[in-house]
Structures are given as structure tokens and as C-alpha cells.
Amino acid sequence: MPSKDLYAVLELPHGAPATEVKKAYKRLARKVHPDLNPGDKNAEDRFKEISEAYAILTNPEKKKQYDAYGTAGPEPPTDPRVHFTGFDFDAGPVAGGFSDLFETILDHAHQGRSRGPAPGQDLVYPLTITIQEAFHGKKARIAVTHTVSCERCGGEGRLSPSRKRPCAKCGGTGKVGLSRGPFSFASVCKECGGTGKDPGEPCPACSGTGSREVRETVDVTIPPGVDTGSRIRLKGKGQAGLMGGPSGDLYIETHVRQDSQFAREGPHVRVHVPITYVEAVLGAKIEVPTLTGHALLKIPPGTQSGQVFRLKERGMPSLRHGPAGDLLVEVHLQTPRVVDERSKDLLREFGRLNPENPRGYTDPTEG
Ligand SMILES: [Zn+2]
Ligand SMILES: [Zn+2]
């Protein structure tokens, strides 16, 4: 359940119209879109937050519910119209029990609103890929389970309704009376959804739900340069719309697996490469791994352990056709394992020729 006010997230006053929601979202998304802020976790979180607020507040059903109850979740909210103060719950037996009573009242709170077409829910499909796949891009075939509108009834859930005939259940009033022990109230007619018109027969193909579940194989092209949290939209592959509304979309959300060699830093890629003492001292041309095979890197004489060399545009490609990131080669000095006496003598000789104290202080015990 979102804890922040969704309107505040979009910097809008509570209850702002959908047109304002769309404007605010576009304006904010241009600022915080992850592609424009590579490697910025805050921007990524903020983008998710505004996207979530946008998704809820542009869905007419959800917006209505959120405006009224401050929640858009699937759980029934506490209906402010339902007040039990003043009733004595121990007063007498209640047929069907309290849970049944609550359900009926909450039903009442939920239904009786528009039963018109509504867009289907979006789906998110997480897809784990390697850093190499993120670099090169990838064609993936995935199996998704989603609902599609029932062909038989066109998503209405009912067959051959007559708009002229009144609903048989409520006699055309759209309401049915209920009495439960000491309570009695009118509830929206479930049969016709409160319209009072003949709803027709439940569609046998979808059991009246208006949709059916399908498992579908979908081909998706992951473009080079995606990062964890990147989303590829497949239009209309989400859940079926209600009452003939448009289907939601399917979002393939990529998760880039951690690599033992390459570490991603936004558009840049860091790789750790060991170098020998001699290479560090004298300088050398060394082979370094990149995401497209090996490259030659020239390190200067006197290279220090931990020094970083930048290979321009050998990092991640840009999703927006901009310049690629860089490859950051961090070299680490590997101390030689000298065992033979001749090498040790040479090193002692080297030490005598190069008396250095890199620590900058002298050991007091050495006087
Ligand atoms: Zn059907
Ligand atoms: Zn009815």
C-alpha cells in the first residue's frame, strides 16, 4: 500500500484531474528518467514512485477509489460511509454472521460505480540477463500468462442483454433490499450492477468474467545498454481490459546479474587487472579484458597499485544513441613471489640503490 500521498508524489494538490496528472508525470519523468540519470539510484527510485502514482491516478476506477479512500489497493478500504458507532453488536443474532455483513456493505461501497469499459492492468515481467547481454542486447523469447478479452462476449461477460427489459432481480430499480438482524439497508443489485437493465445471460465461454487466461510466447528485443530496472514495453500484452476496455501493457524489466569480472557504474564499467612489479616500475603494454574481447593498454613507468586508466567509450552503450560509457581499468600490483637467491640479491641491491621511505616517518626503535 503506498504510504506517500500519490498526488504529493506528483507535486499536485489532492484530487487533481487526470489531465494534470499526465502533465505532471511528463514534466517529472523528463527530469528523473533513469536513462537521463544513469547510475543515480535516487532518480531511479523517484522515477518508480512517480510512475506508480501515474499508473494509479490515470486509471479512472483506481483514481476514483484513491480520491475517496486514499488507497488504490486490491483490499477493500475502510468505507468512511460505514459507521457502526451507536450499534450494539451484542444486541442480537445476525444472520450470516458479521463477516458476511461487512462484505455486503463493502460490496455496496465498491459497486454501484461505473461498470463501463476500463483499461486492463499492466504486467511486469522480470528478466535476468548477464552484463554481456546488457552490453550486446539480446533477443529473448519469454512465456507470459495474461488475460485476453473473451471473444464470445467481447469482454462484457454477458450475452445478448436487452437494454429495454428491466433486470429481473431488482425489477429495474438497480437496488436490492437486505435485512440482517437489526440492520436493514439497500445494496446495489449485483445482477445488473445497479443499472436496472437486463444484464443478459452470463457468457458460458468465460463464466461471466469477460476474459480468459492465456499463456503466450512473446519475442522481445532487449536493446544494448539496458541496466537493472530498465523497462521494455510490449503494448497490449498486459491484462485484458474490463467491459471491452483496452488491454494493459507488459513491461519487461531487466535485472543485470552481478559479474565476477566487470562491475557496472552507470554507463561505465570497471575491471580490476593485476600487474607485475616490473610492469609497474618500468611501464608496459598489457592486455586488459573488455566486453568485446581484449584490448591493449599502455601503463606508464611508475604506475601505482589502484591507479585507474580510462578506455574512452569502451563501457556500456547508450540507450539513447549517445556516446558509450568508459571502461575503467583499475590496476593492482601483484607482489612477486621471489624464492631464488639471485633474485633476492638483485632486490636487495635495488633497495640499496633506491633508499625510500614511503611511510614518511622513521621507526623510533631504529634510533
Ligand atoms: Zn465471454
Ligand atoms: Zn438488477
What is the full DSSP assignment across 147-191? EEE-TTTTTSSEES--SSSBPTTTTTSSEEEEEETTEEEEEE-TT
**Total H helices, total E strands in the chain:** 8, 15
Ligand 2 centroid–CA 199 distance in Å is: 8
For β-strands 308-311 and 158-159, DSSP reports them as unpaired
Higher confidence at residue 185 or residue 56? 56
Ligand 2 centroid–CA 122 distance in Å is: 31
Ligand 2 centroid–CA 176 distance in Å is: 8
Chain mean position to CA 288: 35
Residue-level pLDDT at 114? 45
pLDDT at 143 > cutoff 90: yes
CB 50 within 8 A of CB 10: yes
Which ligand is closest to the CA of 166, given by its number? 2
Per-residue pLDDT tens digits for 287-338:
999 999 999 999 999 999 999 999 999 999 999 889 999 999 999 999 988 8
Element (H, E) at 129: strand 123-129
Ligand 2 centroid–CA 169 distance in Å is: 5
pLDDT at 37 > cutoff 90: no
Ligand 2 centroid–CA 120 distance in Å is: 25
Ligand 1 centroid–CA 209 distance in Å is: 7
Ligand 1 centroid–CA 233 distance in Å is: 27
Instruction: Please name which of 121, 194, 123, 203 lies closest in space to residue 155, comparing C-alpha atoms.
Output: 203
Which ligand is closest to the CA of 156, given by its number? 1
Ligand 2 centroid–CA 156 distance in Å is: 16
Per-residue pLDDT tens digits for 199-258:
888 899 998 888 999 999 999 999 999 999 999 999 999 999 987 789 999 999 999 999
Instruction: Provide the residue type at 218 as one letter.
Output: V
pLDDT at 27 > cutoff 90: no
Which ligand is closest to the CA of 240, given by its number? 1
Ligand 2 centroid–CA 202 distance in Å is: 14
- Measured distance CA(291)–CA(257) in Å, rounded: 15
CB 316 within 8 A of CB 325: yes
pTM of model > 0.75? no
Structural domains in the chain, CATH included, are: 1-75 (1.10.287.110), 262-357 (2.60.260.20)
Residue-level pLDDT at 115? 59
